[in-house]
Structure formats: structure tokens, C-alpha cells
């Protein structure tokens, strides 16, 4: 039996329908580019991609994943393409959306080749308007890159192993390796590849064996990166498998392997288009749900239709076993393997793990309805087919409305624990700051650790074109020797404010900050400056007995430095006995700049009941290094006026005015 693909030239009507599908797909994915999330993962990925585009590095590893597996660098390489042209993340989001529009077009071509024009039109239309397909196609996220590569991987497998085309065999395995490196969840494609190779083993050519070498070559950079980072050591692999490196930890695995309905549940609502309210906030969804709740019933019918079409293809594959059977079986594997694998609690499952099955669901739907039309020309069957197609058109219209409504809602409503602050609210602030062309920027956001703290990570990337970017937290203030732009959430009447979606979500403000803003009158000056050999000099302090907090003002004569210095803060009584500690990070070394004044607040961690006894404090700097034997503490040396070692800590006795 020889497969005869549908290769007739398209009619004018078909071309119009195809272009209409692409336009709908493009409008939903490329439209409203500011209504996309841009959070820590997006910023981390973008930073690596922009560094690569600017020639700073060629990464062999990607960003960290939630399950403790370091991602491959392929998604960084892909995202470097838009960043070659602009550092604006909206340009990059449009690039991602465009790839997903192409995915819809490629799925149309696949359906047309094996199932005909009607199947292609229906599959393409439902794929184009599917709400979750749209949601997972608009932002800078590795998972959002998958649809095009998944469709291309399966399509080349069909062309190579079912039709016997050499170029298909040559491309399939390398594409599988690339797709798998974009996000590890696509290992679910491996059973499809194995099935196609086995079923098409009589058609294998030398191109297939050459593709194995190409697949290894494509994977080699990731392997080299993993070896360099010591990720392939047995103890590291053991931690990953056990879940100790995972964001969810090993606790969820402690209950053992079991069956769950999570995979099937996620597959159901993502292909049907229900549960859209889940991204609109833990409280706010109650206001959004009535907008789409009436449509959910018809979306439910769409899910039923997909299940029915899948059942038909399964029955047909068992009964007929003709040249089309490998195509049908491939689509069924494509649809079912992912939810089945994530129906086992070997790892936590998430809705976005279902991204690989989107195209399969709508291809199966199109194939099933096309077969219904091709059946015996009975009036009842024809009427049923017309009714079903009409119902799908109505559902498609409602799904377009649902997408528009959900985007409108999340763009205007603070969605607590749901959709993050849309990029469109951040872009005007970014543009405003960049227009000022500041040489330095200090941002008082949620922390000092780029790559970990959410706001800090986001703005470190958004302001990539500012040469010097430094970040402080609620316990730290910096007064720079050279004037800097100052970004914070402390909006006021005399600052340039940028409002977010609601008053509760807050706003950002931009002002300036310099050493002249440091109010020395609020502090008690040290009898003389106290320099340390790490470049820091303690200048003043302010003791707040009512709160148990000490603010320390210090300067540095160097920066940046490679180490993060913590400050030892030991509160003492009149006899010099330690009562309590308040150690903490002084200020991240990478942000030190010569001449800056730093004010850091340290609050008692225990012993508040003995505040009245506190008569002074001992201060010093130290670093902590992790070694095989444990943590190693290294103290900075206090220097005297001649620059000679004078111990490791300076002792300050509070006067009566500070104890009040």
C-alpha cells in the first residue's frame, strides 16, 4: 500500500481561507503586544540572548528550570535572533508570536497533505483561535517556542519514514534534538519517533544514519556545557532525579509514584479552551468568569468532538490498516502520550506541559470531520456534517471573543497570583529612562540579587542599555558619588510616576539620587573614620532603641569587588558582653563604587527583651565561602590611621542621646 498525499494546487477559495486563518492567527498572537507577561524567567532568558546578540558570550547552557535541570542553550540561541535588532522585549515577543503563526500555517499544510482541504481548514482554524494556544504563544518563554518545532519535527518524521523522503529522514532527528533542548517536556515526542522509524524501517536510507551524527552534533554544545558545569556527576544527577534540586523539592515525591488525573485534566481544558479564568487572579476570577462561563458549554462540546474524532481514528487504524494508518497512529500518539505520561506522579505536572499536543488535537478533529464528509453520501450524514462545521465556526467565534476578553481583563485588572503585570505598563517607563541616557541607575525594588529577585531581575534587563545598574533593598540605601537615575515604588507628588493596573498594584517612580541627598545630620559621626582592608570605611551610625535597629553609614574607596561582604553587628552591654546579633549583607560587591555612601539598617534578630541593656555595638566585615568541609568565614581587617592592622571589629559605645 502506497500513501498518496493530497498535492493538488490550491483553488482561489482555498487560498483565501488559508490567508484568513493566518490573519486570524496573527491578529490574536501579534495583536496587543504589550499584553504579555515579562517576569523573572523571561528576563533571565532575554539577558542571555541579548548578551549573545551583542557578542558578549556564546552560552552552552540555558537558564535554570523549575525541576532542577539546567536548560539547554537552544532557546537562548533562538531568542538571540530578535535581539540582534533591538533590546526592546516587545520586539522579541512579536518574534515568538510570529513563530507560532507559522506553526499554525505548517499544521494546515500537514493536514492538507494527508487529509485534504476540509481537514486543513478546520484544523488550521481551530488551532488559530484556540485560547490556550494563543496564551502560550505570546511571550518570551521557552515553552512558547515549542509549537513550530513540534509540528516541524512530527511533519519531517511523516515525510521521511512514511513517505520515504530522504530530506525528511535527514532533518527529523536533528529537529527532535533541537526541540527537546528547547524544553525537556518534549521528550514525549520520542515514542512518536520510535514508532515512525519502526513502521518505516524498510524505507530507511543513508540520510537517516547521517542524521544520527547530525543529531549528536546538535546536542554536543549542551553536553559540553553540562560537563563544564559538573552537571553530569553522579551525585548531581542523583539530586536531580530525587527532586532535591527542584523548586518543588523532594517532598512531593515522598508519597511515591501513583496515578493522577492531572495530565488528562490539563489536556482537556487546554485543547477545549475552558478554565481561562484561572489566569485572572485568585479573587478577581469571580468578576471574569461570568464573561466566558456561557461559552464554556460549547467549548466542552469541542472537547467532546476531539475525543470522538480520536476514537474514530483509533477504530479506523485497527480495522482498515491501510497506507494512511501510520499517519493516524502518529497523530494519536502525539495527542495521548503527553497526558498519559503526566498522569503518573513522577514529577509535578503543569498546564503548559500540554503545549506539544495542541496541533495534534486540532489535526485529529479536522481528520475526523473530513472522514465523515467522505463517507457514504447519506442525507443525514451530510446534514450532520454541515451542522458540526457550523458549530465549530460558532465555537471559533466565541473563542476569539474569549481571547480578546481575557486579554482586556488582565490588562486592566490586578490579577493576584495570576497574570503578571503586562509588559505594556513597563515599556513606557523603560523608554522614559532610556531617553534620559543616564550613565548610572540605582533601583530600590525587591532585592539585590539579579536572577533571583523578581523586580530586580526584570529591570536589570529592561534597562540593559544603561551602562551602570545597581539595586538596593528595603534595608539599604546608596548615595552615589556620581548622580544616578533612581527607580523605586515610592511614588509622590514631586516625582515622575508610572501607574500600574490598579492602586493596589502600585506604581513606579523615577527621580535622581546623588551623594548630596545623604542627610548626615540624621547620624552620629564616629570619633574618626574606621577603615577596613576591604575598602570600606565606617563613618557614622544611628541607633533606634525603640525598634532595635542600627543604621550604619559607610563609604568605599573601590568597586566593584568580586566578593559579597556581610557586616558583623554584635550588640553589647556596658560590660562588653554580647547580647544579640544583627548580621546581614552589607551591600553586594558587584554594586560597590568608589566614593559612594551606603546606609544599611540592621535589626536585632533576637533578644529584644534586653534592648534596655544595650550600650554599644561591635562592627566588622566578613565573607562566607562554601567549602567541602563547610562554611569558611574570613574577616576583613580593621586598619588604624597609619594603615596598620588594628583588629577585626570596631567597637562603638552609644551615648545617652542615642539610647533615648
pLDDT tens digits, one per residue of 582-613: 999 999 999 999 999 999 999 998 888 899 99
Cα separation, 282 vs 271, whole angstroms: 23
CA distances from 550 to 424, 553, 609 (A): 40, 10, 16
Q: Which residue in the block uniquely carries the three cell numbers 491578529?
A: 27
SS3 599: strand
Other CB atoms within a 10 A radius of the CB of residue 437 amount to: 10
Highest mean pLDDT among 60-69, 422-431, 647-656 belongs to 422-431
Give alpha helix (H) positions in 31-73: 40-53
- Under a CB-based contact definition with an 8 Å cutoff, are residues 78 and 182 in contact? yes
Q: Cell digits for 272?
A: 477545549
- The secondary element (H helix, E strand) that includes residue 526 is strand 524-531
Rounded to 5 degrees, what angle do the CA atoms 115, 117, 121 make? 105
pLDDT tens digits, one per residue of 238-256: 665 555 555 554 445 445 6
pLDDT band at 559 (very low <50, low <70, confident <90, very high): confident
Q: Cell digits for 544?
A: 533606634
pLDDT at 136 over 60: yes
Beta-bridge mates of residue 635: 622
DSSP category for residue 647: -
Question: Which CATH number describes the domain made up of 521-659?
Answer: 2.60.40
Give the lowest-confidence range in 224-238, 344-358, 496-510, 621-635. 224-238
Q: What is the mean pLDDT of residues 64-77?
A: 83
pLDDT at 156 over 60: yes
Closest CA relative to residue 186, chosen from 333, 356, 358, 332: 356
- Under a CB-based contact definition with an 8 Å cutoff, are residues 267 and 339 in contact? yes
Q: What pLDDT, on the 0 to 100 scale, is given for residue 68?
A: 62
Other CB atoms within a 10 A radius of the CB of residue 283 amount to: 12
Q: What is the mean pLDDT of residues 423-437?
A: 97
Rounded to 5 degrees, what angle do the CA atoms 424, 511, 515 make? 145
Closest CA relative to residue 335, chosen from 267, 275, 260: 267
DSSP category for residue 420: P
Residue 559 Ramachandran class (φ > 0 left, ψ -120 to 50 alpha, else beta) = left
For every residue of 179-230, DSSP letters joined together read HHHH-GGGGGGHHHHHHHHHHTGGG--HHHHHHHHHHHHHHHHHHHHHHHTT
Q: What pLDDT, on the 0 to 100 scale, is given for residue 2?
A: 76
pTM (2 d.p.): 0.92
Closest CA relative to residue 357, chosen from 181, 208, 143, 583: 143
Closest CA relative to residue 478, chosen from 369, 559, 534: 559
Q: What is the mean pLDDT of the chain?
A: 93
Beta-bridge mates of residue 542: 551
Q: What pLDDT, on the 0 to 100 scale, is given for residue 657?
A: 45
Give alpha helix (H) positions in 375-501: 379-412, 423-436, 454-462
- Under a CB-based contact definition with an 8 Å cutoff, are residues 580 and 543 in contact? no
Q: What pLDDT, on the 0 to 100 scale, is given for residue 608?
A: 87
- Under a CB-based contact definition with an 8 Å cutoff, are residues 193 and 204 in contact? no
Q: Cell digits for 289?
A: 468568569
Going from N- to C-terminal start, the domains of the chain cover: 12-412, 423-517, 521-659
Q: What is the mean pLDDT of residues 211-216?
A: 96
pLDDT at 235 over 70: no
pLDDT band at 277 (very low <50, low <70, confident <90, very high): very high
Q: What pLDDT, on the 0 to 100 scale, is given for residue 251?
A: 47
- Strands 468-472 vs 440-444: parallel, antiparallel or unpaired: parallel
Closest CA relative to residue 277, chosen from 264, 300, 293, 298: 293
Amino acid at each position: 500500500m502506497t500513501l498518496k498525499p493530497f498535492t493538488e494546487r490550491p483553488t482561489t477559495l482555498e487560498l483565501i481561507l488559508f490567508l484568513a486563518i493566518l490573519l486570524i492567527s496573527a491578529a490574536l498572537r501579534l495583536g496587543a503586544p504589550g499584553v504579555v507577561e515579562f517576569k523573572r524567567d523571561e528576563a533571565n532568558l532575554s539577558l542571555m540572548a541579548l548578551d549573545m546578540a551583542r557578542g558578549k558570550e556564546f552560552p552552552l547552557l540555558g537558564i535554570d528550570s523549575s525541576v532542577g535541570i539546567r536548560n539547554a542553550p537552544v532557546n537562548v540561541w533562538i531568542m538571540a535572533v530578535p535581539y540582534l535588532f533591538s533590546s526592546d522585549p516587545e520586539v522579541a515577543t512579536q518574534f515568538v508570536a510570529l513563530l507560532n503563526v507559522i506553526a499554525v500555517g505548517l499544521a494546515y499544510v500537514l493536514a492538507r497533505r494527508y487529509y485534504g482541504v476540509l481537514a486543513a481548514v478546520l484544523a488550521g482554524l481551530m488551532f488559530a483561535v484556540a485560547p490556550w494556544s494563543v496564551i502560550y504563544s505570546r511571550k518570551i518563554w521557552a515553552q512558547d517556542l515549542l509549537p513550530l518545532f513540534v509540528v516541524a519535527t512530527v511533519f519531517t518524521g511523516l515525510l521521511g519514514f512514511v513517505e520515504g523522503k530522504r530530506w525528511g529522514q535527514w532533518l527529523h532527528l536533528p529537529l527532535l534534538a533541537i526541540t527537546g533542548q528547547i524544553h525537556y517536556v518534549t521528550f514525549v515526542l520520542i515514542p512518536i519517533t520510535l514508532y515512525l522509524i519502526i513502521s518505516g524501517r524498510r524505507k530507511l536510507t543513508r540520510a537517516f544514519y547521517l542524521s544520527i551524527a547530525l543529531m549528536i552534533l546538535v546536542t554536543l554544545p549542551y553536553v559540553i556545557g553540562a560537563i563544564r558545569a559538573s552537571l553530569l556527576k553522579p551525585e548531581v544527577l542523583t539530586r536531580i532525579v530525587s527532586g532535591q534540586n527542584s523548586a518543588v523539592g523532594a517532598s512531593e515525591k515522598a508519597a511515591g509514584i501513583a496515578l493522577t488525573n492531572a495530565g488528562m485534566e490539563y489536556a482537556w481544558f487546554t485543547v477545549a479552551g475552558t478554565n481561562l479564568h484561572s489566569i485572572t487572579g485568585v479573587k478577581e476570577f469571580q468578576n471574569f468568569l461570568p464573561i466566558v462561563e456561557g461559552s464554556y458549554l460549547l467549548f466542552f462540546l469541542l472537547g467532546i468532538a476531539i475525543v470522538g474524532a480520536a476514537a474514530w481514528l483509533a477504530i479506523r487504524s485497527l480495522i482498515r490498516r491501510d497506507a494512511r494508518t501510520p499517519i493516524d497512529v502518529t497523530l494519536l500518539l502525539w495527542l495521548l502520550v503527553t497526558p498519559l505520561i503526566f498522569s503518573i506522579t513522577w514529577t509535578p505536572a503543569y498546564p503548559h506541559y500540554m503545549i506539544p499536543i495542541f496541533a495534534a488535537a486540532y489535526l485529529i478533529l479536522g481528520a475526523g470531520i473530513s472522514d465523515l464528509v467522505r463517507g457514504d453520501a447519506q442525507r443525514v450524514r451530510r446534514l450532520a456534517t454541515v451542522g458540526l462545521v457550523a458549530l465549530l465556526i460558532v465555537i471559533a467565534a466565541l473563542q476569539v471573543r474569549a481571547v480578546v476578553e481575557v486579554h482586556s481583563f488582565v490588562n486592566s485588572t490586578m490579577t493576584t497570583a495570576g497574570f503578571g503585570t503586562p509588559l505594556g505598563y513597563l515599556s513606557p517607563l523603560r523608554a522614559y529612562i532610556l531617553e534620559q541616557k543616564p550613565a548610572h541607575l540605582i533601583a530600590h525594588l525587591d532585592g539585590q540579587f539579579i536572577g533571583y529577585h523578581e523586580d530586580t531581575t526584570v529591570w536589570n534587563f529592561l534597562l540593559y542599555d544603561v551602562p551602570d545598574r545597581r539595586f538596593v533593598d528595603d534595608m539599604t540605601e546608596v548615595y552615589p558619588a556620581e548622580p544616578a537615575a533612581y527607580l523605586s515604588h515610592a511614588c509622590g507628588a514631586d516625582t515622575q510616576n508610572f501607574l500600574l493596573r490598579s492602586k493596589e498594584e502600585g506604581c513606579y517612580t523615577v527621580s535622581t539620587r546623588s551623594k548630596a541627598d545623604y542627610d548626615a545630620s540624621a547620624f552620629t559621626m564616629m570619633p574618626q573614620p574606621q577603615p577596613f582592608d576591604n575598602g570600606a570605611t565606617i563613618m557614622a551610625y544611628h541607633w533606634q532603641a525603640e525598634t532595635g535597629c542600627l543604621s550604619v553609614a559607610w563609604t568605599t574607596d573601590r568597586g566593584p569587588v568580586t566578593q559579597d561582604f556581610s557586616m558583623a553587628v554584635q550588640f553589647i552591654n556596658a560590660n562588653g558582653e554580647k547580647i544579640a546579633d544583627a548580621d546581614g549583607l552589607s551591600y553586594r560587591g558587584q554594586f560597590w563604587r568608589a566614593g559612594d555612601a551606603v546606609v544599611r539598617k540592621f535589626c536585632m534578630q533576637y533578644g529584644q527583651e534586653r534592648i534596655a541593656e544595650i550600650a554599644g555595638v561591635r562592627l566588622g566585615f566578613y565573607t562566607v565561602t562554601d567549602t567541602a568541609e563547610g562554611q569558611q568565614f574570613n574577616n576583613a581587617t580593621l586598619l588604624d590611621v597609619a594603615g596598620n592592622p588594628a583588629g577585626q571589629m570596631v567597637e562603638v559605645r552609644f551615648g545617652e542621646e542615642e539610647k533615648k
